[in-house]
Chains A and B, each alone.
Chain A
Amino acid sequence: MSFAVNALTRSLNVFHLAGSACNNCDIEILATLTPKYDLERFGLVLVGSIRHADLILLSGIFNKKSAIRVKEVYEQAPKPVVVVAIGGCACSGGMFRDSYNWDQPVNKYIPIDAYLPGCPPKPEAMISAVVKLITKLRGKKL
């Protein structure tokens, strides 16, 4: 494990990107960041600007209009940056998959490092996803 990966995985700044989500996943993301789970123990802090982000949490479906925006926002993030798709909608399109304005899954627009299905996933599931992601980044077996 290199020095850079060590520093990155110990201090991931979270940027929350909601693309027309129904707010359920967003509320669970905020619940994960509350004092009860205290993610600052692992160096995860919520930031407001995409320029400060290391970990992008996607929620909601990305349709023909919002997918262009999510691509733009991803390009504005300083690399290296990791992306987690949160909830059934962000992973596969969910129940909106056959909708008229849904084009293709979000991983056709930007690279996704982890998928977390659920409607919505529990905070414990999100913490588990981030732990697995960090393990993967450090080059260890899951």
Chain B
Amino acid sequence: MLLIQFLIFPGFLFAATIGLVTSWIDRKVTARVQMRVGPPFLQPFYDIIKLMIKETLVPAGTSKWFFLSAPLLGITAVSLASLILWRVLLTPSQTFMGDLIVLIYLFTMPAIATVLGSFASQNPLASLGGSREMKLILAYELPFILVLLVPVIKLQSIRLGDILLGTAAVHSISGVLALLVAILCMQAKLTLVPFDMPEAETELTGGAYIEYSGPPLAMFKLTRAMMLFTLPIFLMTVFWGGIPFAQGWLPLFLGILKYIALVVIMVLVRNTAPRVRIDQAVKFFWGPLTIIAVLAAILAYLGW
């Protein structure tokens, strides 16, 4: 039963489908910003199917096992994260002690999989991308975890179900600050443009994924699409009341609207900002954002 849930409904297949639809929204909004028409609705699906029929090339001299298992690690982690998150969203009583912390770890796994894969591919550009990804993980995890303390302090619980059922954190000053910092951290977690140094299409030509082809590349792309779906939902669950399923049509519709708004904000930021250097990104996350995150945690402790 749990295996079916993992593979189909709140797990892999569901997250992959909605994630690909979300990546279509991303590409379509990008196209409209650049005054283009944009790709057709099924374009992300065709991209994945095409990659599945392509040949898989493994560069000479690499560790085959590491090279091919890295994308599998990422996709498994994000499917598991989607499963835990949606079980709680659908029935909040299915939460368990510390699932917030489990989710924080699972959301770091795709980035670690990218690092492993890039170092396993033995390409100088890929190693450069991998080292940048590693620095980026170190940079954004600090404010991200600090900011997740805000709802934990407010509701005195590390169970996702309690946080979902309690008052949404965004109705207070500390919650608004926390959500803003979390959106920027999400941008970096998804390696979207101001923080896309690991890929850096113009200088590293694909960066961490440069040696991947065929099905492993499709897995990496799916992982990215699934993260694009799961992370905004996670932030909404923690800070903004999630998507309510049991309260009729209007709250459900508003919840979906909130999700699309979060995605469109990310896409607009990605289309209007230039890429920063890795040292600027680390300074930005460890400087201003960490200070705001600590401030938000203190405000939450004081009851604001």
**A interface, CB within 8 angstroms of B:** 3-4, 7-8, 10-11, 35, 38, 40-41, 43, 47-49, 51-52, 54, 76, 78-80
Selected contact of B43 from candidates A43, A49, A54, A79, CB within 8 Å:
A43
Whether the pair B43, A11 counts as a contact (CB closer than 8 A) is yes
Given contacts A7-B53, A43-B43, A52-B217, 7 further A-B contacts (CB under 8 A): A11-B46, A35-B34, A40-B36, A47-B206, A48-B206, A49-B206, A80-B55
Bound Cα distance from A8 to B209, whole angstroms: 20
A80 to chain B, nearest CB (A): 7
Interface string of B31-50 (1 = CB under 8 A from A): 10011111110010011011
Whether the pair B205, A51 counts as a contact (CB closer than 8 A) is no
Q: Which residues of A contact B38 (CB under 8 A)?
A: 38, 40-41
Whether the pair A49, B31 counts as a contact (CB closer than 8 A) is no
Whether the pair B213, A78 counts as a contact (CB closer than 8 A) is yes
- When A35-B34, A35-B35 are in contact, do A7 and B50 touch as well, CB less than 8 Å? yes
**Selected A-B contacts with CB under 8 Å, 9 pairs:** A3-B49, A4-B53, A11-B47, A41-B37, A43-B39, A43-B47, A49-B205, A51-B213, A79-B54
Whether the pair B34, A78 counts as a contact (CB closer than 8 A) is no
Whether the pair A38, B37 counts as a contact (CB closer than 8 A) is yes
**B interface, CB within 8 angstroms of A:** 27, 31, 34-40, 43, 46-47, 49-50, 53-57, 201-202, 204-206, 209-214, 217
- When A40-B38, A41-B38, A78-B57 are in contact, do A11 and B210 touch as well, CB less than 8 Å? no
A37 to chain B, nearest CB (A): 9
Whether the pair A51, B46 counts as a contact (CB closer than 8 A) is no
Whether the pair B55, A78 counts as a contact (CB closer than 8 A) is yes
Whether the pair A38, B36 counts as a contact (CB closer than 8 A) is yes
Whether the pair B50, A10 counts as a contact (CB closer than 8 A) is yes
- When A7-B50, A48-B201 are in contact, do A76 and B34 touch as well, CB less than 8 Å? no
Q: Which residues of B contact A80 (CB under 8 A)?
A: 53-55
B258 to chain A, nearest CB (A): 28
Whether the pair A78, B56 counts as a contact (CB closer than 8 A) is yes
Q: Which residues of B contact A43 (CB under 8 A)?
A: 39-40, 43, 46-47
Whether the pair B47, A51 counts as a contact (CB closer than 8 A) is no
Which of A11, A41, A43, A80 is the most central at the interface, judged by chain B CB atoms within 10 Å of its CB? A11
Q: Which residues of B contact A79 (CB under 8 A)?
A: 54-55
Selected contact of A10 from candidates B46, B57, B212, CB within 8 Å:
B46
Q: Which residues of A contact B31 (CB under 8 A)?
A: 38, 40
Whether the pair A54, B213 counts as a contact (CB closer than 8 A) is no
Whether the pair A11, B36 counts as a contact (CB closer than 8 A) is no
Q: Which residues of A contact B55 (CB under 8 A)?
A: 78-80
B104 to chain A, nearest CB (A): 31
Bound Cα distance from A78 to B36, whole angstroms: 30
Selected contact of A7 from candidates B36, B46, B57, B201, CB within 8 Å:
B46
A57 to chain B, nearest CB (A): 16
Whether the pair A48, B205 counts as a contact (CB closer than 8 A) is yes
Q: Which residues of A contact B213 (CB under 8 A)?
A: 51-52, 78
Closest 8 CB pairs of A and B: A48-B205, A78-B55, A78-B213, A51-B213, A7-B49, A49-B206, A38-B36, A11-B46
Bound Cα distance from A47 to B210, whole angstroms: 10
B126 to chain A, nearest CB (A): 9
